[in-house]
Chain A
Amino acid sequence: MNVLVPLNNAEHVVDYINAGAGEFYMGFYDREWNEKFGEYADINRLTGFREKANPYDFEMVLQFIQKMKEKQRPLYITFNASCYSKEAFQYLEQYFVRLKDANVDGVIVSCVELVNLAKAIGIPSVISTIAGIYNSDMARFYADHGTKRIILPRDLSLSEIESITKNVPDMEYEVFMMRNGCAFSDSNCLGMHRTEMCSICSSITKADNEILVKDDNFANRHAAELNNMIYNQYFHNAACGLCSIYRFLQMGIVAGKIVGRSDDWEGVCRDIEYIRENVGIARSCKDEEEYLRRMVFPKDRNQVCKLGLSCYYPEVRFV
């Protein structure tokens, strides 16, 4: 299982590789795009974070493709906005043609239209979590369209992931491994993700709320309010999937993704090391029990490893 890392800091590519990065992904910004399609039209899901999440322009992306080839690390370019207009698809074709000329390893795309476009141009496509591949039927639909890899949503259980990989076997699968959790679905969270305001998930956890309970007695209200308090204060303050690595290796998952295109490089490096080290440990273990005994925990385990609330896949430890 390769560690897939956001290429958000050119100065530290070597640090990432030394830490164990096996593959990279990156987005880019393009002012011409925004002039043409408007401030709220995204090239990728983090376009609204501007240079903070996409620090490089398209010309730089082309250079990175060559640099990463020298370092023998695949690089994928993200085109995973929630949706694109007909005119935007035509514009995106220009990028794809140039990426093909640069011999890019693949594009991460959010919709079937871009899978088709990539196929027509001859670029391998990876279907983003934004497409929401929640079951085997959907995986098969994209497989039939020729996608090379599926990034499975972070709100699937391990048994569901395993079932999809078995039912649609001729496919590469990638899973979420470190950093940010999401209380909703990447595929149908349609609020803005931008610098001006926090995302809607944060807005509602910080907002005053009123819980309307149908049978409003003390026990029901207490249960609802306590549940809401735990959700607002403790759920997914961080996100980690290290305990699930053994199972993912058994399933043949090809990549574990570190999210956080706008995060600091040292934190990203540390997470790469955790995954690399644990993949090595898992490979040398005879079973999951041994792996869970020997694995390396995150440095902040005293906060993160509590009650499954910061786990991508809590069922490993909290059966």
Chain B
Amino acid sequence: MTQIDCLNFCEVLQDFYDMNVPFVTTIRAVQKEAGLGKCERIYIGSSFCGPYFLHLSEKMIARVLEACQAEGIGVTLVLPVFTEKNIALGKEKIKGLSVYFDKVIDEITVNDYGMLSYISGNYSLKLNMGRLFMKDYRDPRYEDYFHSELHPKIFTTYISELMKKYRITGMEFDQTHSIINFEQKPKDIEIGIHSPYCYMTTGHICEVASIHKDIDHKFRPNASCQSECRDMIIRYDLNDGRKWYRVGPTIYFENTDCKIEGTNRYRRIYFPINQEDVK
């Protein structure tokens, strides 16, 4: 089994950047903490949050990409589902980042059909279907389900047609179960596995974004924010011996024991959820 080690800086890039250490040092520190080999690729952007994506500073992106280019590290740009309010701004931001396309950023991950169609029609990079497309239930509170072997349901006839139509070359999954079997995947698709945290639920109402809002303006869908998610995360104790986190609008559980079967090559996309652990 060939495992390609990647780091996922989506949702947390700014936190690491703010540590004021060279980005290459950050990459090596995260690699070491995760016990990974050489980092082949990083993911930047956001899987879950439009406002987070829009807030990514150009200066930071430029520096991070410069570091990756110098180190020969590939970069995947991850696009969240933008709600109506932010869809035009999202496209504008993507256009701004397109100066890096085919240079440092060599592929894009999309998370909805609208964006799949848009990116495919306007840019020529390779495309991944992101983790929000994969809708198999995941719930470790149901042990019998969690320990069953998952055969992801995404591999339908329609998806095979879609892959041809939109030049999709990769698909990203979460570690939802104890075992995931990819024997039904289309031959040319590269699998990416997000680890060690599996997202369980997300949305467009963000608790954390409401911290500084008046009570009658709290918890509005798609509210503007000041990236408060950079300042706090919440850890939950569900009395199951498992780590549960809220980062921004998303709830994750830790799953460190997920066996991958049915493919002889995949990307492991490691997410350093808590930068305090990485120092």
Chain A residues within CB distance 8 Å of chain B = 40, 82-86, 88-89, 112-113, 116, 132, 134-142, 153, 155-157, 159-161, 163-164, 182-185, 188-192, 194, 196-197, 200-201, 203-204, 207-215, 220, 223-224, 227-228, 230-231, 235-236, 307-309, 314-315, 318
| A160 near B83: Cβ-Cβ < 8 Å | yes
Q: Say how far A134's CB is from chain B's closest CB, in angstroms.
A: 4
Is B267 positioned at the interface, with any CB of A under 8 Å from its CB?
Answer: no
Chain B residues within CB distance 8 Å of chain A = 81-85, 87, 112-115, 117-118, 132, 135-139, 141-142, 145, 151, 153-158, 176, 184, 199-205, 207-208, 210-212, 215-222, 230-239, 244, 246, 249, 251, 274, 276
Q: Cβ of B151: which chain A residues have Cβ within 8 Å of it?
A: 85
Q: What 9 A-B pairs have minimum CB-CB distances, sorted nearest first?
A: A137-B114, A185-B203, A184-B203, A160-B84, A138-B114, A155-B221, A83-B135, A82-B135, A189-B201
Q: Say how far B89's CB is from chain A's closest CB, in angstroms.
A: 11
Take A192-B142, A207-B236, A309-B218 as given contacts and tell me if A228 and B87 are in contact as well, using a CB distance cutoff of 8 Å. no
Complex Cα spacing A155 to B201, Å? 14
Question: In the complex, which of the residues B141, B220, B236 contacts A157, with contact meaning CB atoms closer than 8 Å?
Answer: B220
Complex Cα spacing A194 to B246, Å? 22
Q: Cβ of B233: which chain A residues have Cβ within 8 Å of it?
A: 211-212
Q: Cβ of B230: which chain A residues have Cβ within 8 Å of it?
A: 214
| A132 near B211: Cβ-Cβ < 8 Å | no
Q: Cβ of A188: which chain B residues have Cβ within 8 Å of it?
A: 132, 135, 199, 201-203
Complex Cα spacing A159 to B39, Å? 43
Complex Cα spacing A315 to B217, Å? 8
Complex: chain A residue closest to B142, CB-CB: A192
Complex Cα spacing A92 to B82, Å? 31
Complex Cα spacing A190 to B231, Å? 26
Q: Cβ of B117: which chain A residues have Cβ within 8 Å of it?
A: 137, 141
Complex Cα spacing A194 to B249, Å? 23
| A231 near B207: Cβ-Cβ < 8 Å | yes
Take A183-B205, A209-B234 as given contacts and tell me if A204 and B246 are in contact as well, using a CB distance cutoff of 8 Å. yes
Question: In the complex, which of the residues A156, A191, A209 contacts B235, with contact meaning CB atoms closer than 8 Å?
Answer: A209
Complex Cα spacing A214 to B199, Å? 22
Complex: chain A residue closest to B48, CB-CB: A188
| A135 near B237: Cβ-Cβ < 8 Å | no
Complex Cα spacing A315 to B221, Å? 10
Q: What are 5 A-B residue pairs whose CB atoms fall within 8 Å in the complex? A: A160-B85, A163-B84, A201-B201, A210-B235, A213-B232
